[in-house]
Protein backbone atom coordinates (compact mmCIF):
# COMPACT_ATOMS: atom_id res chain seq x y z
CA UNK A 1 0.00 0.00 0.00
CA UNK A 2 1.05 3.61 -0.48
CA UNK A 3 1.05 5.45 2.81
CA UNK A 4 -1.13 8.56 3.00
CA UNK A 5 0.63 11.71 4.11
CA UNK A 6 -0.45 13.43 7.28
CA UNK A 7 -3.09 16.06 6.58
CA UNK A 8 -3.09 18.86 9.19
CA UNK A 9 -6.50 20.00 7.95
CA UNK A 10 -8.18 16.61 8.30
CA UNK A 11 -11.12 16.22 10.70
CA UNK A 12 -10.27 15.72 14.36
CA UNK A 13 -11.65 12.31 15.33
CA UNK A 14 -10.06 11.21 18.62
CA UNK A 15 -9.68 7.48 19.12
CA UNK A 16 -12.26 6.08 21.49
CA UNK A 17 -11.17 4.16 24.58
CA UNK A 18 -12.10 0.96 22.75
CA UNK A 19 -10.00 1.92 19.72
CA UNK A 20 -7.02 2.83 21.89
CA UNK A 21 -7.30 -0.49 23.69
CA UNK A 22 -7.56 -2.38 20.40
CA UNK A 23 -4.52 -0.56 19.01
CA UNK A 24 -2.60 -1.30 22.20
CA UNK A 25 -3.42 -5.00 21.98
CA UNK A 26 -2.54 -5.14 18.28
CA UNK A 27 0.87 -3.55 18.83
CA UNK A 28 1.60 -5.99 21.65
CA UNK A 29 0.68 -8.97 19.47
CA UNK A 30 2.50 -8.06 16.27
CA UNK A 31 5.24 -10.68 15.65
CA UNK A 32 8.07 -8.19 15.05
CA UNK A 33 11.02 -6.74 16.91
CA UNK A 34 10.95 -3.01 17.50
CA UNK A 35 7.16 -2.61 17.57
CA UNK A 36 6.18 0.39 19.69
CA UNK A 37 3.89 0.17 22.67
CA UNK A 38 0.88 2.48 22.78
CA UNK A 39 2.82 4.68 25.23
CA UNK A 40 5.79 4.74 22.87
CA UNK A 41 3.59 5.57 19.89
CA UNK A 42 2.07 8.52 21.78
CA UNK A 43 5.53 9.85 22.65
CA UNK A 44 6.75 9.32 19.08
CA UNK A 45 3.84 11.27 17.60
CA UNK A 46 4.20 14.02 20.19
CA UNK A 47 7.83 14.57 19.21
CA UNK A 48 6.80 14.87 15.56
CA UNK A 49 4.46 17.68 16.60
CA UNK A 50 6.58 19.66 19.08
CA UNK A 51 10.09 19.21 17.71
CA UNK A 52 12.23 22.13 16.59
CA UNK A 53 12.15 20.87 13.01
CA UNK A 54 8.91 20.29 11.15
CA UNK A 55 9.35 16.59 10.49
CA UNK A 56 5.79 16.14 9.32
CA UNK A 57 6.48 18.47 6.40
CA UNK A 58 10.07 17.40 5.79
CA UNK A 59 9.56 13.64 5.75
CA UNK A 60 7.02 11.62 3.77
CA UNK A 61 4.97 9.29 5.92
CA UNK A 62 6.68 6.18 4.56
CA UNK A 63 9.87 7.31 6.35
CA UNK A 64 8.31 7.37 9.81
CA UNK A 65 5.04 5.41 9.84
CA UNK A 66 6.67 1.95 9.49
CA UNK A 67 8.76 2.68 12.59
CA UNK A 68 5.57 2.17 14.61
CA UNK A 69 5.55 -1.56 13.82
CA UNK A 70 9.30 -2.05 13.54
CA UNK A 71 9.60 -1.45 9.80
CA UNK A 72 8.20 -3.00 6.66
CA UNK A 73 9.31 -6.43 5.56
CA UNK A 74 11.34 -6.29 2.36
CA UNK A 75 9.72 -7.87 -0.68
CA UNK A 76 10.17 -7.94 -4.42
CA UNK A 77 6.86 -6.20 -4.94
CA UNK A 78 6.34 -2.48 -5.46
CA UNK A 79 3.91 -2.42 -2.54
CA UNK A 80 5.16 -3.00 1.02
CA UNK A 81 4.41 -6.50 2.25
CA UNK A 82 1.69 -6.68 4.92
CA UNK A 83 3.98 -8.41 7.44
CA UNK A 84 4.12 -8.14 10.40
CA UNK A 85 0.39 -7.60 9.89
CA UNK A 86 -1.90 -10.49 9.11
CA UNK A 87 -3.37 -8.72 6.08
CA UNK A 88 -3.26 -5.51 4.07
CA UNK A 89 -6.63 -4.62 5.55
CA UNK A 90 -5.25 -4.85 9.11
CA UNK A 91 -2.26 -2.74 8.11
CA UNK A 92 -4.43 -0.08 6.48
CA UNK A 93 -6.68 0.06 9.53
CA UNK A 94 -3.64 0.55 11.77
CA UNK A 95 -2.31 3.38 9.60
CA UNK A 96 -5.67 5.15 9.80
CA UNK A 97 -5.73 4.83 13.60
CA UNK A 98 -2.19 6.18 13.92
CA UNK A 99 -2.92 9.19 11.70
CA UNK A 100 -6.14 9.93 13.57
CA UNK A 101 -4.28 9.85 16.88
CA UNK A 102 -1.56 12.10 15.47
CA UNK A 103 -4.17 14.62 14.36
CA UNK A 104 -5.78 14.59 17.79
CA UNK A 105 -2.46 14.92 19.66
CA UNK A 106 -1.41 17.77 17.37
CA UNK A 107 -4.67 19.66 17.90
CA UNK A 108 -4.74 19.15 21.65
CA UNK A 109 -1.16 20.04 22.43
CA UNK A 110 -1.23 23.19 20.30
CA UNK A 111 -4.80 24.44 20.60
CA UNK A 112 -6.35 22.76 23.67
CA UNK A 113 -3.35 22.34 25.94
CA UNK A 114 -5.27 21.94 29.24
CA UNK A 115 -6.89 18.80 27.79
CA UNK A 116 -3.61 17.27 26.59
CA UNK A 117 -2.52 14.28 28.64
CA UNK A 118 0.30 12.02 27.44
CA UNK A 119 -0.26 8.28 27.63
CA UNK A 120 1.96 7.02 30.46
CA UNK A 121 1.83 3.66 32.17
CA UNK A 122 0.50 3.88 35.72
CA UNK A 123 1.11 1.28 38.43
CA UNK A 124 -1.01 1.11 41.57
CA UNK A 125 0.48 0.19 44.92
CA UNK A 126 -2.15 0.43 47.60
CA UNK A 127 -3.45 3.99 47.63
CA UNK A 128 -0.49 5.25 45.59
CA UNK A 129 -0.21 5.62 41.82
CA UNK A 130 3.20 5.66 40.17
CA UNK A 131 3.60 7.14 36.68
CA UNK A 132 6.08 5.45 34.35
CA UNK A 133 6.94 7.41 31.19
CA UNK A 134 9.87 5.25 30.07
CA UNK A 135 8.17 3.80 26.99
CA UNK A 136 6.70 7.20 26.11
CA UNK A 137 10.12 8.86 26.31
CA UNK A 138 11.72 6.05 24.29
CA UNK A 139 9.15 6.67 21.54
CA UNK A 140 9.80 10.42 21.73
CA UNK A 141 13.53 9.85 21.21
CA UNK A 142 12.87 7.55 18.25
CA UNK A 143 11.36 10.57 16.53
CA UNK A 144 14.39 12.65 17.54
CA UNK A 145 16.57 10.07 15.78
CA UNK A 146 14.86 10.82 12.47
CA UNK A 147 16.83 14.08 12.29
CA UNK A 148 19.06 14.26 15.39
CA UNK A 149 21.15 17.27 14.33
CA UNK A 150 18.04 19.46 14.38
CA UNK A 151 17.76 18.87 18.13
CA UNK A 152 21.29 19.96 19.07
CA UNK A 153 20.14 23.44 20.02
CA UNK A 154 17.57 21.95 22.41
CA UNK A 155 20.14 19.98 24.42
CA UNK A 156 22.55 22.95 24.43
CA UNK A 157 19.94 25.47 25.61
CA UNK A 158 20.76 26.57 29.18
CA UNK A 159 17.11 26.45 30.28
CA UNK A 160 15.48 23.96 27.96
CA UNK A 161 18.28 21.39 28.10
CA UNK A 162 18.01 20.74 31.86
CA UNK A 163 14.21 20.68 31.62
CA UNK A 164 14.47 17.90 29.04
CA UNK A 165 16.99 15.87 31.08
CA UNK A 166 14.32 13.71 32.80
CA UNK A 167 12.84 12.80 29.40
CA UNK A 168 16.28 11.81 28.17
CA UNK A 169 17.03 9.80 31.30
CA UNK A 170 13.75 7.91 31.07
CA UNK A 171 14.15 7.28 27.35
CA UNK A 172 17.76 6.11 27.61
CA UNK A 173 19.20 9.04 25.67
CA UNK A 174 20.95 11.02 28.40
CA UNK A 175 24.41 9.67 27.57
CA UNK A 176 24.19 10.98 24.00
CA UNK A 177 23.81 14.60 25.09
CA UNK A 178 25.77 17.11 27.13
CA UNK A 179 24.50 15.46 30.30
CA UNK A 180 27.10 16.94 32.64
CA UNK A 181 26.26 20.56 31.83
CA UNK A 182 22.54 19.79 31.90
CA UNK A 183 22.84 18.27 35.35
CA UNK A 184 24.89 21.22 36.58
CA UNK A 185 22.26 23.66 35.39
CA UNK A 186 19.56 21.59 37.10
CA UNK A 187 21.47 21.66 40.37
CA UNK A 188 21.98 25.43 40.12
CA UNK A 189 18.21 25.79 39.90
CA UNK A 190 17.82 23.63 43.04
CA UNK A 191 16.08 21.02 40.92
CA UNK A 192 16.37 17.53 42.40
CA UNK A 193 15.37 15.89 39.12
CA UNK A 194 19.00 15.91 38.00
CA UNK A 195 19.86 13.73 41.02
CA UNK A 196 16.95 11.42 40.30
CA UNK A 197 18.15 10.95 36.72
CA UNK A 198 21.28 9.24 38.06
CA UNK A 199 19.32 6.91 40.35
CA UNK A 200 17.65 3.56 39.74
CA UNK A 201 14.76 4.08 37.30
CA UNK A 202 13.25 0.82 38.54
CA UNK A 203 12.55 2.60 41.82
CA UNK A 204 8.90 3.61 41.31
CA UNK A 205 9.31 6.81 43.30
CA UNK A 206 12.26 7.95 41.19
CA UNK A 207 10.53 6.99 37.94
CA UNK A 208 7.33 8.72 39.04
CA UNK A 209 9.16 11.94 39.97
CA UNK A 210 10.91 12.11 36.62
CA UNK A 211 7.81 11.11 34.66
CA UNK A 212 5.65 13.85 36.15
CA UNK A 213 8.12 16.50 34.99
CA UNK A 214 7.99 15.38 31.34
CA UNK A 215 4.73 17.12 30.24
CA UNK A 216 5.95 20.55 31.41
CA UNK A 217 9.24 20.04 29.57
CA UNK A 218 7.38 19.14 26.38
CA UNK A 219 5.21 22.25 26.63
CA UNK A 220 8.32 24.36 27.20
CA UNK A 221 9.81 22.84 24.06
CA UNK A 222 6.65 23.56 22.12
CA UNK A 223 6.58 27.20 23.23
CA UNK A 224 10.26 27.72 22.46
CA UNK A 225 10.90 25.84 19.27
CA UNK A 226 7.84 24.39 17.55
CA UNK A 227 6.14 25.69 14.43
CA UNK A 228 2.42 24.85 14.15
CA UNK A 229 1.71 21.75 12.10
CA UNK A 230 -2.00 21.48 12.63
CA UNK A 231 -4.95 23.70 11.90
CA UNK A 232 -7.00 25.03 14.77
pTM for the whole thing?
0.86
Per-residue pLDDT reduced to its tens digit, 57-68 = 888 999 999 999
Q: CA-CA distance, 103 to 165, in Å (whole number)? A: 27
Across the strands, what pairs with 131? 122
Per-residue pLDDT reduced to its tens digit, 22-53 = 999 999 999 988 999 999 999 999 999 998 87
Residue 188's pLDDT band (cuts 50, 70, 90): very low
Rounded to 5 degrees, what are φ and ψ at 183?
-65, -40
Average pLDDT over residues 10-26: 97
Per-residue pLDDT reduced to its tens digit, 109-140 = 999 999 999 999 998 877 789 999 999 999 99
Percentage, residues of the chain above pLDDT 70: 81
- For the chain, where are the alpha helices, taking DSSP H only? 17-29, 38-50, 55-58, 88-111, 134-144, 152-156, 160-171, 179-188, 193-197, 204-211, 214-225
Given this model, what pLDDT does residue 181 score? 42
In order, the DSSP letters of 156-194 are: H-TTHHHHHHHHHHHHT-GGGS-HHHHHHHHHHTT-THH
Top pLDDT among 43 and 152 is at: 43
Average pLDDT over residues 149-157: 90
Top pLDDT among 61 and 78 is at: 61
Amino acid sequence: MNYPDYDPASPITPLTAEELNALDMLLHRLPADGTMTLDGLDGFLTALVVGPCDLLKQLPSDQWLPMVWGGDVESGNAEPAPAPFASKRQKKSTVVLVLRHLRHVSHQIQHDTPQWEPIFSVAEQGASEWADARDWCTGFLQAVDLLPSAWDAVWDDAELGPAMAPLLALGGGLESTNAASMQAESNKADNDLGEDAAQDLDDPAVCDNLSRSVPDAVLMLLARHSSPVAAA
